[in-house]
Homo-oligomer: A and B are copies of this chain.
Amino acid sequence: MKVFQHVSDIGDLKVAMQEAFEIKEDRFKFQTLGKNKTVLLIFFNNSLRTRLSTQKAAMNLGMNVIVLDVNQGAWKLETERGVIMDGDKSEHLLEAIPVMGCYCDIIGVRSFARFENRQDDYEEKILNQFIKYSGRPVFFMESATVHPLQAFADLITIEEYWTKRHFNEDVNDKGDELSFIGKESGLLSSVKKPKVVLTWAPHPKALPQAVPNSFAEWMNAANVDFVVTHPEGYELDPQFVGNARVEYDQMKAFEDADFIYAKNWSCPGVTRPEDYGKVICKDMSWTVDAKHMAVTNNAFFMHCLPVRRNMIVSDDVIESPTSIVIPEAANREISAQVVLKRMLESL
């Protein structure tokens, strides 16, 4: 694997899931793979979960890790040719990025949406520069538009808890029967697909669309019944949400759901580009609370964290026995490790 950005990069989902659970059973099994290999983690933005889980995953694989924090404001790379660089940009991307590739084997980059220009964000200018010029495999540690390590961890979590609920067994005991999720697998078609609902919820600040974009993309690729619910104007970009069912009535969307995935995002600017990155709704009735959960099929509650309580979700829902936000976060180590393992194998 040379790039990890989209669900298609991971290949057959059933194989990926089996690999994930094999790693979860013994995190140190593939430790010789990473010997004398170095991953460079470049953070243009703050990170807690991604920073810790990716470092841990790399170390599980026996890799060396170099973490580089870059103040996005200070990272002023010239990108054009012909410019006389007498201003505040002290380096051209054509030198800066190949040089970073010199000192490592694999590169992970975090660079959030800047909300200055929709096209710049959705073209993934920064990440694409690393892909094009670093000479190394590049994985996305949340970019302007995607957060695939999160979505992969989410899928692992859904598979785990759906298996537990159905068979009262851990995933690793299921062996070949594993995976409701992989569409390719064709296995277990008799089992009911879980209904997975991605719901918008209110938040005081304008947040990127990376998490919902990737979650929609991955759910569309998985063997689940996927529904998105949000106020009008929050339509996700078609390249991610595809033909997923959109239901503007949140309570209706929640009916018989097996998994509720809550997340705030700012206006994606699909219907009104001028609203891109804005907060266009603060309706607190969208906060996921016990009343919402009551119409579900005793659904599991998920969120990528950090979460603002009583904005996104009520205290009682996030503290309930079906809240799986902590195991979901723990699976970030597993998704990162599958990705790094794949990249190591491709070196």
Contact = CB atoms under 8 A, between A and B. Distances in A.
Contact of A309 (B78, B306, B307, B325): B78
Q: What is the copy number of this chain in the assembly?
A: 3
A291 interface: no
Contact of A81 (B56, B60, B83, B315): B315
Interface in A74-96: 78, 81-87, 89-92, 94-96
A347 interface: no
Interface stretch (A99-107, A163-171, A192-200): A99-107
A310 interface: yes
28 contacts: A28-B36, A31-B36, A36-B60, A38-B56, A40-B52, A48-B96, A49-B99, A52-B100, A52-B103, A53-B103, A55-B66, A55-B103, A56-B64, A56-B103, A81-B309, A84-B311, A89-B308, A90-B308, A91-B305, A92-B309, A95-B305, A95-B306, A95-B307, A95-B325, A95-B326, A99-B305, A102-B326, A102-B330
Contact of A310 (B82, B104, B326, B330): B82
A308 B52 contact: no
Given A306-B91, A309-B78, A319-B94, A38 B64 contact: no
What are the 7 closest A-B residue pairs judged by CB atoms, nearest first?
A: A91-B306, A85-B308, A102-B330, A52-B103, A84-B310, A56-B103, A59-B64
A102 B327 CA distance: 8
A329 B52 contact: no
A41 to B, nearest CB: 11
Nearest to A282: B86
A85 B310 contact: yes
Interface string A292-319: 0000000000000111111100010011
A69 to B, nearest CB: 9
A38 B66 contact: no
B92 A307 contact: yes
A321 interface: no
B56 A333 contact: no
Given A85-B309, A91-B308, 6 more contacts: A55-B66, A81-B309, A99-B305, A99-B326, A102-B332, A103-B330
A153 to B, nearest CB: 11
Interface string A317-347: 0110000011001101100000000000000
A61 to B, nearest CB: 11
Contacts of A325: 95
A278 interface: no
A36 B227 CA distance: 41
A68 interface: yes
Contacts of A96: 48, 306
